[in-house]
C-alpha cells in the first residue's frame, strides 16, 4: 500500500465540540418529534360498522358477502376485464383476493358510535358500548378478530362531549373487565377542530390509565380530519401539525373524513370525492405534517356502493379500484371501506400495486445492498422506501416472504432494518 496522504485542517477540535454541544437540544427535539415510522403493520383499510349493528360474526359476514360479490362476477378473467388488469396479473391477483377474503377479510374494524350510529337513547348507547367491548374481547380470545379493532366515539364538541366520554369509558372498562386491552386496540377521535380537543383526549386517557393501573401512554388514538380548521387554523398555521404535538406521542394516525371535510368547504354533494382538489390539498397537508412523526395518514372512502344492476356494480368497482390505486401512488396506504362489496376491489388494487412492482423493487434493493450498480442509482433513503414497499406487500398478503427473500437475499429482519433505520443511520450511510 502507498503512503497515506496527509490532510490539513484549520479548525481547532474545540470548534466542532462547541457546535455539537450547541445542537444537543435540537438533536433531542428531532428524536422526540420525528422518531420515524413505528415499524408495525399498517392496515390497508378501515371498515366502519354502526354500534347497533356490530355482532360476533361481523368480520366473517363481511368476508362472506365479499366472496359472494366476487363469485357473482365469474372468474379471474372476468374480474380482470372489469378492472383492466393485465393478463399477467389477472390470475395471481384474483387467487390472492379469494384467499384473503377467506382468511382475513377485514384488517381494521371500527365500531361506530358517531355519524354511522345515528341518534340513540343513552341506555341504548351504554348497552351497545358494553356489548362492543365484550364481543371484541371474545373475538381476540377465540382468534376471530380482525388484526385491529376498536371504536369511533363521539367528538369533543360541547353537544356530545359527555356522551362520547361515557361511551369510551364503558368500552375501555369492558375490555379491562374481560381481561385487558388487546394489542390491536384502535380508538378514533372524530371532528377535531382545535388542538385543545386533542389535549383533552390525552388527559382523558391518562386518567383512565391511572384508574386501571395501566402503563402511562398505553392507549393511543387516531385523529379524524373533517373540518377546515383542522387543516388551516385562524392564524394561518397548519393546525394538524399542532394536533400531532398536542397528542403527546399518543397519535397513531390521521384519517381523512372525505365527506364532512368537503361539505365544510361547500363542495356540492355530487362532487364530494377523495380525488377532489380540496381533498387532495387536505391530505397533502396531513402527509407533510405527519412525515417522520410515526403518525400514519389514511385516505377516506367512496360513497358509491357496488350494489344493484350488474352494470352499476362494475362501474362502482372500477371507481373504487381507481381511487385506491390513485391513493397508493400518492403514499396513502390505508383507506375506508363502506360496504362488503368494496373489499374485493380494495384488495385487488392493493395486490396489483405490489405485485406489478415487487420484482423491480427487489432487484433495486438487492443491487443497493450488494453495491452492484444498475440503471438506477439508489441512495439510503430510497432503500428505506423500497424495503417499506416490500414489507407492506408482505403484511397484506400481496407478496410472500419467500419470494421476496429469493429475489433480494434478505430476511424479514433485514427488510425491517432498512425500512425503519435509527435516526442518523441514513445520513451516516450516505457519507
- The verdict on 196 and 150 lying in the same domain is yes
- The verdict on 159 and 288 lying in the same domain is yes
- The verdict on 326 and 368 lying in the same domain is no
Sheet holding 251-256, edge to edge: 296-298, 251-256, 221-225, 185-189, 148-152, 108-112, 45-50, 335-337
- Among 292, 324, 355, the domain-final residue is 355
- Give CA torsion, residues 318, 264, 279, 86, to 10 deg: -10
- Among 355, 370, 405, the domain-final residue is 355
Q: Is the CB of residue 253 less than 8 Å from the CB of residue 148?
A: no
Q: Is the CB of residue 189 less than 8 Å from the CB of residue 156?
A: yes
Question: 103 is written with which cell numbers?
Answer: 382468511
Type and span of the H or E element at 252: strand 251-256
Q: DSSP letters along 105-161, please?
A: S-SEEEEE-STTT----HHHHHHHHHHHHHHHHHHHHHT-S-SEEEEE---SSTTTH
Question: 119 is written with which cell numbers?
Answer: 341518534
- Among 333, 355, 377, the domain-final residue is 355
Q: 34 lies in a domain?
A: no
Q: Is the CB of residue 188 less than 8 Å from the CB of residue 157?
A: no
- The verdict on 212 and 92 lying in the same domain is yes
- The verdict on 236 and 338 lying in the same domain is yes
232 contacts: CB under 8 Å, gap ≥ 6:
238, 239, 285
Q: 103 lies in a domain?
A: yes
pLDDT on residue 395: 95
Instruction: pLDDT tens for the chain, 431 residues: list them.
Output: 567 788 999 999 899 999 999 999 999 999 999 999 998 999 999 999 999 999 999 999 999 999 999 998 889 999 999 999 999 999 999 999 999 999 999 999 999 999 989 889 999 999 999 999 999 999 999 999 999 999 999 999 999 999 999 999 999 999 999 999 999 999 999 999 999 999 999 999 999 999 999 999 999 999 999 999 999 999 999 999 999 999 999 999 999 999 999 999 999 999 999 999 999 999 999 999 999 999 999 999 999 999 999 999 999 999 999 999 999 999 999 999 999 999 999 999 999 999 999 999 999 999 888 875 555 556 788 889 999 999 999 999 999 999 999 999 999 999 998 887 654 444 333 33
- The verdict on 255 and 348 lying in the same domain is yes
Q: 40 lies in a domain?
A: no
Q: 27 lies in a domain?
A: no
Q: pTM of the predicted model, to two decimals? A: 0.92
- The verdict on 316 and 423 lying in the same domain is no
Count of the separate structural domains present in the chain: 2
207 contacts: CB under 8 Å, gap ≥ 6:
none
Angle between helices 358-370 and 401-408 (to 10 degrees): 40
- The verdict on 326 and 379 lying in the same domain is no
* Residue whose grid cell is 367491548: 133
Q: 170 lies in a domain?
A: yes
Q: How far apart are CA 318 and CA 316, in angstroms?
A: 5
190 contacts: CB under 8 Å, gap ≥ 6:
114, 115, 152, 153, 154, 155, 224, 226, 257
- The verdict on 107 and 151 lying in the same domain is yes
Q: 1 lies in a domain?
A: no
Q: 281 lies in a domain?
A: yes
SS (H, E, C) 320-366: HHHHHHHHHHCCCCCEEECCHHHHHHHHHHHHHHHHCCHHHHHHHHH
What's the farthest any 2 CA atoms get from each other in the chain?
86
Nearest to 415 by CA among 388, 397, 378, 377: 388
- The verdict on 418 and 364 lying in the same domain is yes
- The verdict on 333 and 379 lying in the same domain is no
- The verdict on 64 and 204 lying in the same domain is yes
Could you tell me the residue range of the domain that residue 390 belongs to? Answer: 358-430
Beta strand 148-152 with 185-189: parallel, antiparallel or unpaired? parallel
**CATH code of the domain covering residue 123:** 3.20.20.60
Amino acid at each position: 500500500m502507498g503512503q497515506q496522504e496527509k490532510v490539513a485542517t484549520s479548525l481547532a477540535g474545540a470548534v466542532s465540540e462547541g457546535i455539537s454541544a450547541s445542537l444537543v437540544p435540537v438533536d433531542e427535539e428531532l428524536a422526540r418529534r420525528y422518531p420515524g415510522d413505528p415499524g408495525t403493520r399498517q392496515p390497508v383499510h378501515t371498515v366502519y360498522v354502526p354500534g347497533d349493528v356490530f355482532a360476533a360474526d361481523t368480520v366473517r359476514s363481511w368476508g362472506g358477502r365479499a366472496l359472494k360479490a366476487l363469485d357473482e362476477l365469474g372468474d379471474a378473467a372476468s374480474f380482470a376485464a372489469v378492472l383492466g388488469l393485465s393478463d399477467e396479473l389477472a390470475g395471481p391477483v384474483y387467487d390472492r383476493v379469494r384467499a384473503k377474503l377467506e382468511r382475513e377479510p377485514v384488517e381494521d374494524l371500527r365500531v361506530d358510535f358517531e355519524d354511522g350510529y345515528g341518534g340513540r337513547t343513552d341506555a341504548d348507547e351504554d348497552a351497545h358500548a358494553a356489548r362492543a367491548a365484550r364481543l371484541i374481547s371474545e373475538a381476540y380470545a377465540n382468534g376471530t378478530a380482525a388484526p385491529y379493532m376498536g371504536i369511533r366515539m363521539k367528538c369533543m364538541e360541547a353537544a356530545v362531549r359527555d356522551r362520547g366520554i361515557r361511551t369510551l369509558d364503558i368500552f375501555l372498562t369492558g375490555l379491562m373487565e374481560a381481561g385487558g386491552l388487546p394489542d390491536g386496540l384502535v380508538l378514533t377521535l372524530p371532528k377535531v377542530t382545535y388542538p385543545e380537543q386533542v389535549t383533552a383526549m390525552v388527559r382523558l386517557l391518562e386518567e383512565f390509565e391511572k384508574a386501571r393501573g395501566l402503563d402511562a401512554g398505553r392507549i393511543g388514538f387516531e385523529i379524524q380530519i373533517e373540518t377546515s380548521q383542522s387543516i388551516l387554523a385562524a392564524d394561518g398555521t397548519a393546525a394538524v401539525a399542532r394536533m400531532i404535538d398536542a397528542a403527546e406521542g399518543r397519535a397513531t394516525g390521521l384519517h381523512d373524513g372525505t365527506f364532512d371535510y368537503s361539505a365544510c368547504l361547500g363542495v356540492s354533494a355530487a362532487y364530494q370525492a377523495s380525488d377532489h382538489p380540496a381533498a387532495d390539498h387536505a391530505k397533502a397537508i396531513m402527509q407533510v405534517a405527519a412525515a417522520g412523526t410515526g403518525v400514519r395518514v389514511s385516505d377516506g372512502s367512496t360513497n358509491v356502493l357496488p350494489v344493484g344492476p350488474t352494470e352499476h356494480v362494475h362501474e362502482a368497482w372500477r371507481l373504487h379500484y381507481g381511487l385506491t390505486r390513485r391513493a397508493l401512488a400518492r403514499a396513502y396506504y390505508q383507506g375506508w371501506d363502506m360496504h362488503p362489496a368494496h373489499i374485493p376491489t380494495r384488495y385487488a388494487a392493493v395486490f396489483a400495486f405490489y405485485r406489478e412492482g415487487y420484482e423491480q423493487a427487489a432487484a433495486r434493493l438487492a443491487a443497493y445492498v450488494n453495491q452492484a450498480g444498475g440503471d438506477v442509482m439508489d441512495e439510503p433513503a430510497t432503500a428505506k422506501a423500497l424495503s417499506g414497499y416490500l414489507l407492506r406487500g408482505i403484511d397484506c398478503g400481496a407478496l410472500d416472504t419467500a419470494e421476496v427473500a429469493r429475489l433480494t437475499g434478505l430476511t424479514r429482519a433485514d427488510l425491517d432494518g432498512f425500512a425503519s433505520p435509527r435516526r442518523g443511520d441514513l445520513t451516516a450511510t450516505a457519507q
